[in-house]
Amino acid sequence: MNAFLVAGCTSDAGKSVVVAGLCRAFARRGVKVAPFKAQNMSNNSVVTPDGGEIGRAQALQALACGLEPSTRFNPILLKPGSDRTSQLVVHGKATGNVSARNYIEHRAHLREVAAEALAGLRREFDLVICEGAGSPAEINLRETDVANFGLAQAADLPVYLVGDIDRGGVLAHFYGTHQIVSAEDRARIKGFVVNKFRGDASILQPGLEDLARRTGVETLAVLPFIEGLWVDAEDSLQSSVGATVGPSGPGMAPVARRGLSVAAVRLPRVSNATDVEALACEPGVHVRWTDNPNDLMNADLVVLPGSKATVSDLAWLRSRGLDQVIVSRTLPTLGICGGYQMMCREIVDPQGVEAPSSEPVLGLGIFDARIEFQEEKTLIRHSNGAYEVHHGQVVDHREQPWIGDEGSQRGVFFGTHRHGQLEHDAFRKQWLRQIAPDGFEPSSSPNASFHGERLRQLDLIADTIEQHWDLDALLASLA
């Protein structure tokens, strides 16, 4: 037995963070460990060195293990394009769009895909830490489940159930999940893990003891709430309007002499929302998600991020009056991927890849370029770690390129298809010096490194887990 599954009572219970911390903790012990998520639903994705596409959370977990991201770690990815349909990505490649109903028809095949991918990792690694998807208690989906008890059954995995106590009701979540699943699935639950706990643990203890009497399952760890935790968001739940992006708490780099305000437009179908996070690792750069035109007017920098539904999000932009503010700005504005495409002259989609009509859609007209959607998705990983994931291609381009021969630059307006470009510290700092107001100077502190900050956060999670979960006992239980 060299694998186990970390499931969550609910979405956003913290299982991605717990898996990342476990990966980091075991890797630091010298264990050859790998992450695995059979099926992910997220528009935050990464292009891997082997030319595929996986969820951003699995790329972070791979980093925790000291590994490059790989399609083996997330063989099935769903990228929502609307409330009813998602793009299905298998082994890193898009295979078409599916609805919630017809996706069920694919699941028999996808269960085989997931099982085979996990089996391959188990042959190669000492330990594989699997992450579930959503809640494992969705009994209406159990028959065709790919990522939770379906995977645990197929691969004979023990299951550890994570619950978010910060939202309240965690004991009921544990008990309800335990009771509603089948007896066979219930027997796989080997421990509960309370996540995001604040306060006196002794007050919680009687509840945990009663829970153990009722279920026969012990609570193996009570993980405290980590103040200022800052890791890659798995989905748009962590990119809500008004949310401030970036690290906080003790030990952070000092604030620069002059701050720089960044307004990131919270599109309805925002993708790769993590692009703006690299800006936030710079001391004095204050990044906030917004959908308010007033916030865009005086921001030192506006970022129009990627979108999984560029045409409909462009229509939304216009309905809010955000387009007029962006076009009239005299301060720097950056468009990334879908945001860049919106800033061009027009968008056409003759194959119906995204838009309901093949008629040209007028863009914001900031860049004299035409975007044409192609059925085949562009997946490129650049040498500095930046990557491209897009169906829209730039044609009839009449602008000055921005990054090498890619992107566009006109005055204070910048556009690129490259995600993760701002994570490259030297590039980010040089660009901020170019566009920032007088008095702002990017920090030379080692703390102002995106990659360094991610590793620091991973170590923080691992340290917390090591202190509150007996990992020696966990390993012994797998023997």
In sequence order, which residues have a C-beta less than 8 Å from that of residue 328 and are 6 or more positions away? none
Rg (CA), the chain: 23
Pairing of strands 260-265, 285-290: parallel
- Cβ-count burial of 244 within 10 angstroms (0-12 exposed, 13-18 middle, 19+ buried)? exposed
126: which 2 tokens?
């000492």
Tell me which DSSP letter residue 118 carries.
H
Tell me which DSSP letter residue 175 carries.
H
CA 99 to chain centre: 22
Greatest alpha-carbon span in the chain: 71
Give me the residues paired with residue 293 across strands. Answer: none
**Amino acid at the residue 74:** N
Q: Which residues of 199-218 are buried (b: 16+ CB within 10 A; e: fewer)?
A: eeeeebeeebeebeeebebe
Give the residue numbers annotated as catalytic, written as ranges: 337, 419
Instruction: Assign 442 to helix, strand or coil.
Output: coil
CB 116 within 8 Å of CB 109: no
Q: Which residues of 456-465 are buried (b: 16+ CB within 10 A; e: fewer)?
A: ebbebbbebb
Distance (Å, rounded) from C-alpha 410 to C-alpha 57?
34
User: What's the sign of the alpha-carbon dihedral 442, 447, 450, 451?
Assistant: positive
Q: Which residues of 250-277 are buried (b: 16+ CB within 10 A; e: fewer)?
A: eebbeebeebbbbbbbbbbbbbbbbbbb
In sequence order, which residues have a C-beta less than 8 Å from that of residue 258 and are 6 or more positions away? 284, 437, 438, 439, 440, 441
